[in-house]
Structure 1
């Protein structure tokens, strides 16, 4: 058991009978790979745990579900429309709040290609029904919910949609999403849509006229704008147009590794100039550097320190983008939907890993971020900022 004292043992869909009420899939255990913890001295161990108890810890981008053991069953699992939230594993984490991005790009209930409006509403409704049958996770709709979760030993759950394709050309769907509890929306997911250019495209046209309407409507309803998978110009346009801060919830610095998936200095600076935050990514083979070609926590933290040094510690946080299962394998089988073929580094001489050491899942990542910062001499105030304080500041200006 971790520091989340309110967890009482509920598992996803405990109110139903597997195999009778829904199709059963064998899911990955929470300890698929033995947990790795950044080594600390006894004094550092004590300080790390104290910080985890006292500071509000937030992950700005995760997919906190158990995936099938057999990834050949992943598509049928998603087609069944019932993902399994990782209550038990998250109760063992340091997290007070988690931004859940719902895997809508692989939501193939009615379509082979994902991102359909009907499917994301199905996905969200199924998750909300499950959450309604337990009392550990709070559906987070306002900043006060995060403070409450921290105080009560619970977990605040933020519903997010990673790309705006499901709104099609209907700006009013932003209001509907907000009404259903969505509090963060990505403008694009790699490929272009009616809102703007995605990061995989050959030509970068930035935000469209319709996209400008979307940004303004998101400002009005109080929904956080995410440009993690948007092109550099789309990100900059959105940062400059928005009347409140925006975010890049999961990314890294292109200056450290020449990949379209990572952010240019110009887009990072534009987001910071508007008061926003950049969350550092940890999905396999993303935040590599020339100094750390084997993807591990040290590579990720080189991206963190680069961004912090460039725009200041007040504008960086963490969005590890992890799940419970074979993440590297998931990328391989869903390359089309995740656009990895168009966004990876053009160099092909870096070692492939089957998991990212120190950042395998949301539980491990939440612990090791604090442990690494403690081990490298960061102050309590700075750790509090990047662990969650910077996100809270932004949410206080955006959420209504």
Structure 2
């Protein structure tokens, strides 16, 4: 519950330090978007090979989600955050030194490990330290996600215009700043209970959490089809691609913080999921149609609009995963994100392979189909979501007041 007069902007310095580092962490997702064509050219790689930058990153991220709670419950949140940040700094620098796409894919995997350790723990730290309750903390976390995703393409475009290696070095510098801020501002915590390695998997035995997670897997497939493959069909410079995905990221950020809570308050969490997934499917169909007709303005418009659906989905699915079961938030988050990020891992390589070998419209048609499957999962297993539909006043909606 959010106290009267409390907003997500009134937070302790330690929360802002963690949120800043989270912004930089999420920059790493969209950072490579504007430079994907340049990386392919510089390392003499195909789009399918370059797409493995996303696959290695998110596959390691997904698996690492299962162990982050185990680690943080033994050494504390601050130490875990600093370990994750250190790994990101090291592997971001190594990514910039790559001389082959295989090396870069491997270093991005290490980057994904550090990012998973940091991101999973950051949500728990922000929830624990933020004023205004868990709902405000989740909104702040999703705002950091949106801001990072929107700023990442800009950073990638500006630095990538000099050389495709420079965005990796720039991220390492920013993450080092985040390391210093957290080391100075965040107090060392003492773990109060220990999480078992099996706890996140056990938590997924809950019907509501598994339903939310599986539906999120399919919407993340659609999400990262847009993010990973679209740069190859835009036919733009790094600045052009960066501008498109900056607009997309702004849509993600604004809809996460402003649109999602209002929809949640007015129609409830599950109907909001249906609405967001339906709109995302329509936008994917739009990209498919315009990509097939070589209408770049249509592709750009539909790509940016997908950000609205993705922002709403990110916030509502995350809040729902935290609330639908009786598992501790950190455990529920680990299990949910393990399943969710698998969609992000497989989408880039499947989308690029279909686009290269079948047709540029096919990946987006598959993305739209995944949205339909996500809706079907929610509908067929709706009895497991009673904990969400039965709440008279959604906590997420209160956080926007």
Q: TM-score range by the shorter chain?
A: under 0.3
* TM-score (norm. length: structure 2): 0.27
* TM-score (norm. length: structure 1): 0.27
Greater helix share, 1 or 2? 2
